[in-house]
Amino acid sequence: MIRQAVILCGGLGTRLGELTARTPKPLLPVAGAPFLDVLVEEAARQGFNDILLLAGHLAEEIESYARSSSAARRFGATVNVAVEPCPAGTAGALRYACARLDDEFILLNGDSWFDVNLRALAALAPHRPDAAMILALREMPDISRYGSVTLAQGRVTGFFEKAQKTGGGLVNGGVYICRKAPLFAAMAAFEGRAVSLETEVMPTLARDGRLFGESCEGHFIDIGVPESYVAAQNEIPALLRRPAVFFDRDGVLNVDLVHVGTIERFHWIDGAICAIRELNDRGYLVFVVTNQAGVAKGLYEEKDVLALHAHMQEELAAQGAHIDDFRYCPYHIEATIPAYRRDSPMRKPSPGMLLDLLDNWRVDQSSSFLIGDKESDIAAAEAAGVPGYLYKGGNLNKFLRDIPHFLKAA
């Protein structure tokens, strides 16, 4: 499972004029918060919790951001900074950070956001053993502002700099899955000078058959020019407000063997992983809300619940999927362990778990819903102000596709 996200933050931002004279481009405010918050949060919520910022221009500002990043703390991610001692191009920034890079990592441009399923892109890596890089590509009606590519059977066959081609086509979305060893082998040919990843290294990899691409859907925002930066002030807040699906766990995502508290007893419901992946691909937030009275009854501990949820994330990641957040309630009014013996507002049919998620995430509640297998799940959803759908078995992904709210949003 790829866990490291590396973000290029060293550009000068000259096209933005005075805006970047004292502020690095990734730290420019968008709707009151640094643009970099968007990239950090999007990476961290999808499980890339080791974040490395590659700084150059005004590096001290990037270092200050890393020390105080609330976006990282929210998801339990670590944020570190590698500073290039002198400008060396985008590939040079990677070269200076070599010792701190994982064998595989996701690389993001610090001045653009491509709203795609990052986990799905990472899951391609085992199926592209020859790839030094896998690029997320976006179909655009005007490619003149961007680096553009031609693609054949998953391999990038042509790589064109900005303004080399006009009209519609595939553009580089600024999101890359990288394999350190073959990437650095290609970079070795440019040793001793500043070098551009986009205009020098990537075309070399394309000629060698080591550059792959994946056409992705999703909103693309580049704040590198004034008009796009102005547009981002309204576009980004709207895009970050997402519909959510709340899943009960036992009996919906996994087979209910009664008090499932260990990895050995966890078995996915048919279609569950596909359902989560489809929701991720469509831009939904995915939450789990689960009563875990087995803790209150002494059958397993809270650490076992957390370990099981981590196991779920590992298995989902291999299939290009993830769960954004979990809530569980270990309390029960008839608990055998006194510390857990109480009537908790978090325990369904009370809506506490859902309300807590609604308070802590930007949720478009009008397009959100819950899937549960008990009337108590539906009651919790209704009390929280979201529709609930009763799942009675069968393929979960097929059930999801038949839900009116999902069809409307799709």
**Residues carrying an active site annotation:** 248, 250
Q: Which residues contact 207 (CB under 8 A, 6 or more apart)?
A: none
DSSP string, 131-155: -SEEEEEEEES--TTS-EEEEETTE
Edge to edge, what strands does the sheet with 369-372 contain? 325-329, 285-291, 244-247, 369-372, 388-390
d(CA 365, CA 292): 25
d(CA 255, CA 350): 23
Question: Phi-psi region for residue 371, left (φ > 0), alpha (ψ -120 to 50) or beta?
Answer: beta
Side-chain half-sphere exposure of 171, counting CA atoms within 13 A: 27
Tokens standing for residue 83: 């500073």
Do you find a cis peptide bond into 349, omega within 30 degrees of 0? yes
φ/ψ of residue 177, rounded to 5: -95, 125
Pairing of strands 244-247, 369-372: parallel
Tokens standing for residue 367: 């397009």
End-to-end CA, the chain: 29
245, 269, 298 from 275: Cα distances, Å? 10, 10, 32
Pairing of strands 325-329, 220-222: unpaired
C-beta of residue 286 within 8 angstroms of C-beta of residue 245: yes
Side-chain half-sphere exposure of 18, counting CA atoms within 13 A: 0
Which ranges of 297-388 does DSSP label H, i.e. alpha helix? 302-318, 352-360, 375-384
Question: Phi-psi region for residue 357, left (φ > 0), alpha (ψ -120 to 50) or beta?
Answer: alpha
d(CA 325, CA 338): 28
Residue recorded with tokens 């992904």? 397
